[in-house]
Amino acid sequence: MTTAEMIRLQETHLAPYLQLATLLIGKTRSGGGNMFRHQIDTMSILIDYGYIDSVLLKASVVHDIIEDIPDFNHNLLLSIDYESHAVYDLVREVTRIPEETKPAFLTRVLDAGSHNAKILKVADRISNMISLGFVNNMEFVSRYTDETERYIFPIAEIVDKSMLKELKSLVESRRKYFFEFAKTKHEELYTDSTDFL
């Protein structure tokens, strides 16, 4: 990060958005931690890849708040600062609407999402894929890696090939873990069955 980028980041004033994001602290994740930490992880991934756009970073720390807080008062987000409306619009872009299927949602982001929406969605998925290493529901792991390859890879291909490279590595490692786990479970079942012979 250059000094100019540091100064630009310093002037972003993320604190009010971080305060709002603390509403997500009580929302636990199956891989451990909570949804507040996931917002921070997503923001750190964006910074790691050199994204310091203020609207993008502000949206990243509250990107799940509309979807995960029942009856969320949208005015809390819209009234923070002069960029609030742009942040709100970006958050809405990466939020599933009621009755929208996951494939329809991800296809919408791919086909009609803004550049920032696509970048945010890819960073969000990188964070989720890292957390997936702590999930032992193999059916979910299989479904999630397939979904990532089918819908998120094409989004990453458009906006950031370096992020795509990391996603591909994460999918590969999670599938490797999946197959090793399945093999171990099969061997355990076989061993247990021979005990009765």
Domain layout of the chain by residue ranges? 3-194
pLDDT of residue 193: 47
Structure confidence at residue 194 (pLDDT): 47
- Kindly report the pTM of this predicted structure: 0.87
Spatial neighbors of 111 by CB under 8 A, at least 6 apart, are: none
Sign of the Cα torsion 124, 150, 86, 70 reads negative
Within its chain, how far is the Cα of 121 from the centroid?
A: 6
Say how far apart CA 33 and CA 53 lie, in whole Å.
27
The whole-number pLDDT of residue 171 equals 94
| Cα distance between residue 97 and residue 99, in whole Å | 6
Confidence at residue 196, expressed as pLDDT on a 0 to 100 scale: 46
What type of residue sits at position 118? K
Token pair of 31, please?
Answer: 């891989």
According to CATH, the topology of domain 3-194 is: Hypothetical protein af1432 (1.10.3210)
Please report the pLDDT score of residue 3 as a whole number.
85
* Blockwise average pLDDT, block size 10, the chain, 197 residues: 84 93 89 89 97 97 95 96 97 94 97 98 96 77 92 98 97 82 57 51
